[in-house]
Amino acid sequence: MTTAPAAPPAVAQSVTVVRALRSIHRFEVVPNLILVLVWGMFVAANRPSDLWTVSSILALGINGLSLFGGFVLNSYSDYPIDVRSPVKFYVARGVERLGSRQVLLIYISEQIITIAMSVIVSELLHNWAFVAVKLLGIGAGYLYNAEPIRLKRRALWNPVMNSIRMGFVPGLIGYLAVHEGQIGAGGWVLLTGMTLVTMGRIGFWVTVMDTHEDTAEGIRTPSVVYGPRPVMVTAITLGAVATVLSGIGLVLLFGPWGVLGALGGVGAQAYRISLLRRVTDDRSAISLLQKRPTIRRERLWDKAVYGGVIAVGIVHLLLAII
């Protein structure tokens, strides 16, 4: 793995330990990722009480510690990139404050805890799929970040690994925990759609803003290899397919009215199309996606995608108790 070099004392000490821990875990994205953690649980529940069983609570812990712990490994590996990034420089400062060895130890400790929790859930539901899915997530995160393999460098493997660790794995863990370890056709279709949501946004769209930094480090992300504007088009296309599949999955699970849960996806793609129309070249594409207002609106639409799916699950639960 890439090791973060020692930082000048004045730089490292200017960040508190608490702030450094928040930075390497990327806690600023909690409002977005909390929806990623729970959408599978809400659509799988048949009654409200399904959401606060021991297995469900543990699954939420597994997903939370897995996703935010995954950011720790990414912070460790991406230090040379983040220290150049106008968007992620604060993450590099956090690594400098704690030290690269300590950051890696934090990641390992957190993943050991999630594996132990997965074993408990598997015992409770007599289904060892939780351990298998959890190990799949760890494997995807390691292959994405770790040298010499580091699939983040390898164009299309980048979005594949991201979609597994931040889309497929948390969605499946949440669904299985609430649905007694079972998932049907509608669940699989919806899970596929939500996995593609992650692939489109995290695997393609977000790589545009880091194009210059990734190029400097020899990281061959989709944006570096294929160019920012073609990657934006690819992300929008994947988002459109994801929206269709999510709508179909919701209809299979809840009936025709479930398609309303896909409206967030429709709005998100419309917003991204509007951004694409504003760019004239690769430089303007990178600049636009790096702007704070763009990032904030992107996150709002990301919430709308997951929020629409969760809302359908909540309505289903309310109808079940009426």
Per residue in 144-188, pLDDT tens? 888 888 888 888 898 999 999 999 999 999 999 999 899 999 999
Look at residue 190 in the predicted model and tell me its pLDDT.
98
Question: Using omega within 30 degrees of 0 as the cis cutoff, is the peptide bond preceding 148 cis?
Answer: yes
Is 150 within the bounds of a domain? yes
Is 273 within the bounds of a domain? yes
What are all long-range contacts of 180-187, with beta carbons under 8 Å and residues at least 24 apart?
180/125, 181/125, 181/126, 181/127, 181/129, 181/130, 183/44, 185/252, 186/249, 186/250, 186/251, 186/252, 186/253, 187/43, 187/44, 187/249, 187/253
Helix/strand/coil for 154: strand
Look at residue 45 in the predicted model and tell me its pLDDT.
96
Domain limits for position 223: 16-315
Helix/strand/coil for 279: coil
Question: Using omega within 30 degrees of 0 as the cis cutoff, is the peptide bond preceding 230 cis?
Answer: no
* Pick from 175, 197, 201: nearest CA to 245: 197
Q: Whose structure tokens read 């763009």?
A: 294
Helix/strand/coil for 322: coil
Is 11 within the bounds of a domain? no
Q: Two tokens at 2?
A: 């890439």
Is 195 within the bounds of a domain? yes
Is 109 within the bounds of a domain? yes
Q: Whose structure tokens read 């990327």?
A: 26
State how far the alpha carbon of 67 is from the alpha carbons of 9, 34, 50, 151, 174, in Å.
30, 10, 23, 18, 13
d(Cα 130, Cα 136) in Å, to the nearest integer?
Answer: 10
Is 3 within the bounds of a domain? no
Residue 276 host element (H or E): helix 263-278
- How many other β-carbons are positioned within 10 Å of the β-carbon of residue 260? 16
Residues with Cβ < 8 Å from 271, sequence gap 6 or more?
A: 297, 298, 301
Is 34 within the bounds of a domain? yes
Q: What angle do CA 112, 118, 124 make, to 5 degrees?
A: 145
Positions of the chain with pLDDT under 70: 1-13
- How many other β-carbons are positioned within 10 Å of the β-carbon of residue 44? 25
Q: Two tokens at 208?
A: 């545009």
Q: Position 76: which residue type? A: Y
d(Cα 118, Cα 216) in Å, to the nearest integer?
Answer: 39
Is 8 within the bounds of a domain? no
Which ranges in 49-156 belong to alpha helices (H)? 54-77, 79-82, 89-98, 100-125, 129-145
Total number of domains in the chain: 1
* Pick from 61, 64, 77, 84: nearest CA to 24: 77
Q: Whose structure tokens read 């919701």?
A: 250
Name the DSSP class of 165: I
Give the domain CATH number at 310: 1.10.600
